[in-house]
Structure 1
Amino acid sequence: MEEIWMNACRKLEISDDIARTWYEKIRRKMVQGSGRFYHNWDELLLRKKDYLDEMSSPSATILFAVFFQYYEFDGKRNCVEKNCEAFQEFCSEAGLKDENIIKLTKKLLGDESIDTLPGYDEEINLLQDLDLLVLGSPPEEYNRYRELLRKEYSHLDDASYKKMRLKVLETFLMIPTIFATNDFQSKFEETARKNIIKEIEELKN
């Protein structure tokens, strides 16, 4: 992931010192954060590495969104504002003044105050597919994900968690495709639906 991050920063003429400092800052934040059983560096971010590597030239906005999407994470509350603030702090220190990159990244991070920008629809589809990769993982990996996710919502009793989780899973099955991009659909859609159907059955038992 370091090489991916550094290459993106170099293309924007961000100094290696600042880029490397922020890479380590993000990594430490996602490793050390309390309550990050799944939404952490190893379980979530590194899962996306192979697919970012395969992309011939991933955009800076996608990469920045991937790195800052869960910079702050709390299962009890929305952290969009804090993550946008962290990204803005990075931009300030890095001297990044490209408003298109800054606004599009913040929009991808969930800032609803920003109007939809050119390229947003395509990039949000890819960002969301990267985030949903785990749904199409082999059964043993999926079961691990389920266990770790449940720990992140330990503040909920079993009945409340099951109700919330069932709502999410059943919504996935109601839409025509879970994954928005053709590549992810062909690779993961079938397995994802099987995993979700099995989890729903177990939650209802």
Structure 2
Amino acid sequence: MEEIWMNACRKLEISDDIARTWYEKIRRKMVQGSGRYYHNWEELLLRKQEYLGEIGSSSSTIVFAVFFQYFEFDGKRNCVEKNCEAFEEFCSDAGLKDEHVIKLVKKLLGDETIDALPGYEDEINLLQDLDLVVLGSSPEEYKRYRELLRKEYSHLDDSSYTKMRLKVLQTFLMIPTIFSTNEFQTKFEETARKNVDTEIKDLKNSSN
């Protein structure tokens, strides 16, 4: 992951010292603290490494969005504003003044105040597919994902969590494809739908 991050920074002429400082800052942030059972460095970010390397070779904005997307995470509240602020702090330290890059990354992070930008649709599709790749994992890995995710929402009782989770999962099966890009559809769509369908059945059975 460090090489992917460093290459993304170098493309925008960000100094190696600043890039390494922020790489370590993000890594430490995502491995520490309570409540990060799944949305952390090992479980979430490293899972994306295999696919991010190729994508990052042509897009620094995707790399930045992946690294800052869960810089702050709290299962009880939306952290978009805090993550955008962290990215802005990085840009300030890095001397990054490319307004298109800054706005595109913040929009990818969820800043709804930013209007449509060239390249946004393609990049948000890739970002979302990277985030959903766990759905296409093996049954064993998916089971672990389910268990870790449940821990992140331990503030919800079983009934509330099941209701929330079913709403998300059933939406996945209602749409034509879970993944937006052809590559991810080919690799993961079939397995993802099986995993989601299994979880739906399990949740319904456990609530009866």
What is the TM-score of this pair, normalised by structure 2? Answer: 0.97
Q: Indicate the residue corresponding to 1:26 in structure 2.
A: 26
Whether the aligned pair in 2 keeps the contact of 1:30 and 1:71 (CA below 8 Å) is: yes
Give identity over the alignment, percent. Answer: 83
Q: Indicate the residue corresponding to 2:105 in structure 1.
A: 105
- Structure 1 gaps, min length 5: none
Matched, 1:191 2:188: no
Whether the aligned pair in 1 keeps the contact of 2:8 and 2:56 (CA below 8 Å) is: no
Q: How big is each residue's C-alpha offset from its partner over 1:17-64, in whole Å with a ceiling of 9 and x where there is no partner? A: 110000000000000022000000000000000001233723111000
What amino acid sits opposite 1:136 in the alignment? Answer: G
What is the TM-score of this pair, normalised by structure 1? Answer: 0.99
Whether the aligned pair in 2 keeps the contact of 1:52 and 1:58 (CA below 8 Å) is: no
Matched, 1:126 2:126: yes
- Structure 2 gaps, min length 5: none
Q: Indicate the residue corresponding to 1:144 in structure 2.
A: 144
The 2-side partners of 1:128 and 1:49 are apart by 14
Q: Secondary structure at the match of 1:55?
A: helix
The 1-side partners of 2:202 and 2:66 are apart by 31
Q: Indicate the residue corresponding to 1:6 in structure 2.
A: 6
Q: How big is each residue's C-alpha offset from its partner over 1:82-139, in whole Å with a ceiling of 9 and x where there is no partner? A: 0000000000000000000000000000000000100000000000000000000000
Q: Indicate the residue corresponding to 1:81 in structure 2.
A: 81
Whether the aligned pair in 1 keeps the contact of 2:55 and 2:62 (CA below 8 Å) is: no
The 2-side partners of 1:164 and 1:50 are apart by 30
What amino acid sits opposite 2:53 in the alignment? Answer: D
Q: Secondary structure at the match of 2:70?
A: coil
The 1-side partners of 2:105 and 2:3 are apart by 20
Whether the aligned pair in 2 keeps the contact of 1:80 and 1:111 (CA below 8 Å) is: yes
What amino acid sits opposite 2:100 in the alignment? Answer: N
Whether the aligned pair in 2 keeps the contact of 1:178 and 1:189 (CA below 8 Å) is: yes
The 2-side partners of 1:105 and 1:52 are apart by 15
